[in-house]
């Protein structure tokens, strides 16, 4: 029967030996099984409910900062086209308000949120009304996070876009992260426009969260 040569190295040098084909097969098979188990191992938890509670608080703080800073501008200044993706401070704030509503409804299990929620860059157009609605949305996000359990961030989330064409399915944890990441992205745009307009929003560092 054919034998397989092996070399063992150690502190006292190395030694040569032989191994049978059966033993060699078992060794190779064990290595393959180990690699397969590592590949298909359940991934570590992406985020926790506590992370969502922290980011919900951060969202409320930062939105309050932007609204307070924008309060010092005229209505015309808030709607002025400043070259941003959604052009103006007010339109970008509106986009964020409606996008928060849609994403939150998906996270709550509504597969067709756009049946009842209509995204608009021009509504609300009244500044005082917007401030009230924005504050309510902040509280809604904090309430959702407060009741969230870690297990509810596991598994997949499915929904349909506005035209109802293709079913979308993504990990729940990823969708929760997207909610907060999307907010941060557009608040950065608003912060830059406010600063250019002479307003002074608060710092954005997460470590400075009150």
Q: What is the C-alpha separation between 139 and 145, in angstroms, rounded? A: 10
Could you tell me the pTM of the whole model?
Answer: 0.77
Are both 36 and 53 inside the same structural domain? Answer: no
| 32-55 per-position pLDDT tens digit | 554 454 344 444 578 999 999 999
pLDDT for residue 8: 43
Instruction: Decide if pLDDT at 9 tops 50.
Output: no
Are both 116 and 25 inside the same structural domain? Answer: no
pLDDT for residue 14: 46
Are both 99 and 121 inside the same structural domain? Answer: yes
Are both 102 and 23 inside the same structural domain? Answer: no
Instruction: Decide if pLDDT at 199 tops 50.
Output: yes
pLDDT for residue 70: 98
Into how many domains does the chain fold? 2
Q: What percentage of the chain carries pLDDT values higher than 70?
A: 79
Are both 74 and 113 inside the same structural domain? Answer: yes
Nearest in space to 91 (alpha carbons), one of 111, 115, 120, 67: 120
pLDDT for residue 35: 46
| 122-179 per-position pLDDT tens digit | 999 999 999 999 999 999 999 999 999 999 999 999 999 877 788 999 999 999 999 9
Read off the pLDDT of each residue in 178-182 and give the average, rounded to a whole number.
97
Are both 28 and 65 inside the same structural domain? Answer: no
- Mean pLDDT estimate for the chain: 86
Tokens read off for 183: 């907010």
Read off the pLDDT of each residue in 43-68 and give the average, rounded to a whole number.
93
Nearest in space to 88 (alpha carbons), one of 201, 205, 200, 196: 196
Q: What is the C-alpha separation between 87 and 48, in angstroms, rounded? A: 35
Domain of 8, in residue numbers: 4-40
Are both 119 and 29 inside the same structural domain? Answer: no
pLDDT for residue 164: 72
Q: Quick one: residue 164, left, alpha or beta (phi over 0 = left, psi -120 to 50 = alpha)?
A: left
| 184-196 per-position pLDDT tens digit | 999 999 999 999 9
Are both 100 and 136 inside the same structural domain? Answer: yes
Are both 98 and 179 inside the same structural domain? Answer: yes
Are both 113 and 152 inside the same structural domain? Answer: yes
Q: What percentage of the chain carries pLDDT values higher than 90?
A: 72
**E strand map for 47-193:** 156-159, 168-171
CATH (domain of 77): 1.20.120.450
Are both 128 and 33 inside the same structural domain? Answer: no
Are both 30 and 66 inside the same structural domain? Answer: no
């Amino acid at each position: 029967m054919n034998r397989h040569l092996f070399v063992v190295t150690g502190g006292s040098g190395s030694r040569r030996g032989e191994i049978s084909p059966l033993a060699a097969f078992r060794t190779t098979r064990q290595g393959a099984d180990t690699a397969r188990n590592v590949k298909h191992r359940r991934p570590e938890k992406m985020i926790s409910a506590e992370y969502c509670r922290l980011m919900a608080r951060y969202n409320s703080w930062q939105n309050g900062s932007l609204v307070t800073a924008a309060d010092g501008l005229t209505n015309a200044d808030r709607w002025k086209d400043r070259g941003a993706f959604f052009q103006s401070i007010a339109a970008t704030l509106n986009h964020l308000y409606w996008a928060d509503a849609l994403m939150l409804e998906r996270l709550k299990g509504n597969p067709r949120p756009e049946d009842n929620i209509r995204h608009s860059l021009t509504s609300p157009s009244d500044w005082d009304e917007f401030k009230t609605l924005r504050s309510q949305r902040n509280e809604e996000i904090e309430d959702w996070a407060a009741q969230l359990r870690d297990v509810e961030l596991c598994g997949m989330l499915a929904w349909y876009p506005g035209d109802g064409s293709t079913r979308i399915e993504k990990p729940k944890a990823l969708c929760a992260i997207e909610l907060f990441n999307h907010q941060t992205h557009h608040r950065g745009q608003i912060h830059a426009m406010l600063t250019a307009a002479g307003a002074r929003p608060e710092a954005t560092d997460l470590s400075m969260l009150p």
